[in-house]
Amino acid sequence: MDIGEFNSHASVRFNHLFYDGVDTVELASHYGTPLYVVSESAVRERCSSVRKAFLEKYPNTRAVYASKAFQTLDMCRIIDQEGLGIDVVSGGELFAALKAQVNPGAIVFHGNAKTLDELEYAIENDVGRIISDNLREISEVERIAARLDKKVKLLYRITPGVDSHTHRFISTGSLDSKFGIPLDSSVRNDYMRAVLNSPHIDFRGFHFHIGSQIRDNFSHLAALGVALKLIVDVHTDYGFDVSELNLGGGFGIRYLPGDPETELGYFLDPMMQLIRFEMEKAKIPMPMVTIEPGRWIIGEAGITLYELRSVKTIPGIRTYVGVDGGMTDNIRPALYEARYHAISANKADWSHDTVVTIAGKCCESGDILVKDVGLAEPKPGDIVAVFSTGAYNHSMASNYNRIPRPAVVMTTGEGRHRLSVRRESYEDMLIREF
């Protein structure tokens, strides 16, 4: 497959991999490696697709970017400029969004174990929505809101009990999950009474999220069916009309050349049709519908550049190539068995027929970035580009083995680039220590 068919922002010129019109070999030389490279133009294209496939197509809809996938001040500002909201899951993510001057009303605050400080910070700053899934949090929100004389818009996260057909570590919609309220009627009554009897809580409805990197729409539709039945039951049992329904995210992307390209409409069109059908049948007003794409917006927009440091062949077994990064900048292969595609950025026109396993530099046998991928006659000093690393690489990066975290460079689609996050130094890693 031509690399441009796999990633439309990638091309080959003068035997080098270009990304957004920028020579990646020159980027590696200028900024050093490992290096996260994020295409701002690709991010904006995905945001435009969200508007066309959802916001402009269906009335009374919202989209918020799940910033846990990749959150920088730069990214927050881009998302805000594109007219999407921001989903945060901690006080730190909320702080960053506010620091980037995102409108607080466009922020949705998730999390199953928010601290009192986080709740107070969110309510003080008038975040748009709080998503809750436990009764203690309801009482805490009510108490804080009463003291501050605020009224908090709140949704419940539910546990729909569906199989999302993804890795068990990123499946979040099963009955046995730390996320969401159980839907047993005896439990549900306690939760509903808690919000309906709270004078400082404006209960809006329900949220679900069944998992991440979902490639089919069956799981989403199954979960939606559960949520819609709940909306009808709440209407019948409490005379309460749900005004909002949040469908979460989890829409899958391409990691390998053989992966199908899935448009948002594949997921969303059947879901919107089902919502309209069930609401009309029950004679219940159509709720505002929200989605939370994260990976789908940022995942394919990012690549990571490494310098190849070593080549070791074990006859009859495999060839390992060692690079100057690893699980500290991409934990997903070790954590989720995630798979990636890679090419030799400085030999992009060569035949990539030397099958190797790309190993990281951490002192762990499991520090393997890509297994059994074809590279072009690997030699120390080569630049290796790994694709679709925009989501959960930078945001999950660590300092294990006292390795500094990489820089982030943004490209613009016009052959230009800028430093977005500087490379961490050794001093940075010790700044909190005495």
Longest dimension (CA), the chain: 72
Tokens found for residue 18: 């270009």
* Cα 243 to Cα 227: distance, rounded to the nearest angstrom: 13
* Cα 203 to Cα 153: distance, rounded to the nearest angstrom: 6
Q: How far is C-alpha 154 from the chain's CA centre?
A: 22
* Cα 122 to Cα 205: distance, rounded to the nearest angstrom: 19
* Cα 242 to Cα 290: distance, rounded to the nearest angstrom: 13
* Cα 198 to Cα 121: distance, rounded to the nearest angstrom: 20
**Which position among 47, 76, 362, 363 bears the catalytic label?**
363
* Cα 109 to Cα 96: distance, rounded to the nearest angstrom: 13
* 362 carries an active-site annotation: no
Coil/strand/helix, residue 365: coil
Question: Residues 54, 65: contact at Cβ < 8 Å?
Answer: no
Helix (H) or strand (E) segment spanning residue 18? strand 16-19
* Cα 25 to Cα 262: distance, rounded to the nearest angstrom: 30
Nearest Cα neighbor of 43 from 87, 75, 10 is 75
* Cα 408 to Cα 388: distance, rounded to the nearest angstrom: 14
Phi (first) and psi of residue 260, to 5 degrees: -70, 150
Residue type, 349: D
Residue with tokens 């680039």: 417
SS3 content of the chain, % helix, strand, coil (to 5): 35, 25, 40
Question: Residues 397, 21: contact at Cβ < 8 Å?
Answer: no
- Residues annotated catalytic, as ranges: 363
